[in-house]
Structure 1
Amino acid sequence: MKQWNLFEYDRMANGSIFRDVFGHWAEESILLANEKGWLNGHSDQTFRPNNHLTRAQAASILTNFLNLQSNSTTIHFNDISNDFWARTAVILVAQNEIMNGTGDGNFSPSTNVTRAQVAQIFYNVGFYTELAQSETRAFTDVSDDHWALVAIETMQHEGILNGYPDGTFKPNQPITRAQMAAIIHRIYDWDGGTR
């Protein structure tokens, strides 16, 4: 076995790394998110950093990260059964007005969350000191009439969400697990590491 493989195995054996994040651009954020209990890995010692997040998974992460509590408001979604694995998390994000349903009484738990939606979610939570005021738009692919423009610009202004080197934000692209880990790591630092 090569020396690098022994090193990797030793780190995995000590529970300090998933076997698919060693050297990944978001490794530090992934390890912090796992350590804090915000995002978990899988039973096969993988994190699957490039997998997309569903709405149910995002609800679970947000509940863990924000330590959401029930406010006793009755919430019901037609597509969330009583034994659904993320039922409590879905109800909590809805009660706290962080994520809403998708119409017709549904939550659409298996639908992927987009980058624009994540910007709006963290904007809804209030992770900003002031609204972005610049007349110059940060991203070439977010139009002046985009529904999440203020959220995207504000989260970019606060350094919580970044775009791509080509000047785009890709608002309709699904968010990945690694990207979510990086975002909540930035919020953790932005918020003074109080979570």
Structure 2
Amino acid sequence: MKSSFFKKTAQLVVTMMLVTALVPVLAFADTASTDAETTAATTTDSVYTDVDTTTTDSVYSNVYSFEDLSDHWAKSDVEYLVSKNIINGVSETSFAPERDITRAEFAALVVRALGLTNAEAPASTFTDVPSDAWYASTVAAASNAGIINGYDDETFRPDAKITREELAAIVIRALDHSDIATNVSDPEEALKNYTDADQIIWAQKELAAAINTGLISGMTEDTLAPEAQATRAQAAVVLKRVFDILSQIQK
């Protein structure tokens, strides 16, 4: 009888020791899984969007030493905008200045630069802007302010790469929205020195105004490359110039 009692007691003690030993392991496994899921979510939101303020700003907004900007012509303008939480890197050490920028990304940057409130904008009416997309509120805010338009088929084409012509039109509308006069009385005169001015599809007035206000310069002394896709560096420099104009007006 005593032997049976001691045997059962010994088995109980061994079982308790095993459970005690496993608890930290299981707890660590749960923590590791949670951390991995959090990291995956953060990376997904912040690597390329450049706009999700809930994650991207807190991760990259104070980075000033992007390795791919060390000797880049847009370095100072990019770093200034980063310090103002207007633009971010694509990682902790990279800005990707020569990467193209999408219409949705640029819409979000303009909304930030102007300080527009996303929450006050009505829902987007564009057929290709889902309500749960990261850019939905910023596209709606920019569209509501008359800064960015869609296409005749009621699409916005958020993932399309923005052209220099579109970029010029958007920043001019941004200044117009801020009651800063940009109108050029003779667009043809302002564009006459550019041999490819005939390649401008629809934004002759806006490009002329952007050149006249110093927001846009030619790709060379006599070319504009209006149909070329704008890079992140070019977008940053143009936004910095917009920001400078707005700052001077607000003083």
Q: TM-score interval w.r.t. the shorter chain? A: 0.7 to 0.9
SS of alignment partner, residue 143 of structure 1: helix
Give the one of 179, 185, 195 matched to 2:240.
Answer: 185
Structure showing the higher helix proportion among its residues: 2
Structure-2 residue corresponding to 1:59: 107
Per the alignment, residue 135 of structure 1 pairs with: 189
Is the contact made by 1:60 and 1:89 (CA closer than 8 Å) also made in structure 2? yes
Q: Is the 8 A contact 1:132 1:154 kept in 2?
A: no
Measured after TM superposition, the shift of residue 43 of structure 1 is 2.7
Residue by residue, what CA displacement relative to the aligned partner does 1:85-109 show, whole Å, maximum 9, x if unpaired? 1111111111111111123221111
2:227 to 166, 169, 172: 172
Match of 1:50 in 2: 98
Q: Which moved more, 1:67-76 or 1:15-24?
A: 67-76
After superposition, the C-alpha distances for 1:121-165 in whole angstroms (9 at most, x for unaligned) are 122222544415363624211129842111111111111100022
What letter corresponds to residue 244 of structure 2 in structure 1? D
2:159 equivalent in structure 1: 110
User: Which position in structure 2 is the counterpart of 1:159?
Assistant: 214
1:92 counterpart = 2:147: no
Deviates more, 1:81-90 or 1:71-80: 71-80
For 1:90 and 1:128, the matched residues in 2 are separated by 24
| Aligned-partner residue type, residue 116 of structure 1 | E
User: Which stretches in structure 2 are left out of the alignment for 5+ residues?
Assistant: 1-61
Could you tell me the TM-score, scaled by structure 1's length? 0.83
State the shift of 1:47 in Å: 0.6
State how far apart, in whole Å, the 2-side matches of 1:76 and 1:165 are: 39
SS of alignment partner, residue 223 of structure 2: coil
**CA contact 1:52–1:112 (8 Å) conserved in 2:** yes
Between Structure 1 and Structure 2, how many residues are aligned? 182
CA shift digits 1:63-92 (9 cap, x unpaired): 111111355545322211122111111111
Distance 2:115 2:245 in 1: 17
By how many angstroms is 1:192 displaced?
3.6
- After superposition, the Cα gap between the structure-2 partners of 1:69 and 1:77, relative to the gap in structure 1 and judged at 3 Å, is same
Where relative contact order (Cα < 8 A, 6+ residues apart) is larger, the structure is: 1
Gaps of 5+ in 1: 1-13
Structure 1 position 191, deviation (Å): 3.1
Task: Tell me how far apart the structure 2 counterparts of residues 49 and 74 of structure 1 sit (CA, whole Å).
Answer: 31
Q: Cα offset for 1:44?
A: 4.1
Query: For 1:119 and 1:58, how far apart are their aligned partners in 2?
Result: 12
Change (3 A) 1:132 1:41: farther
Letter in 2 for 1:175: A
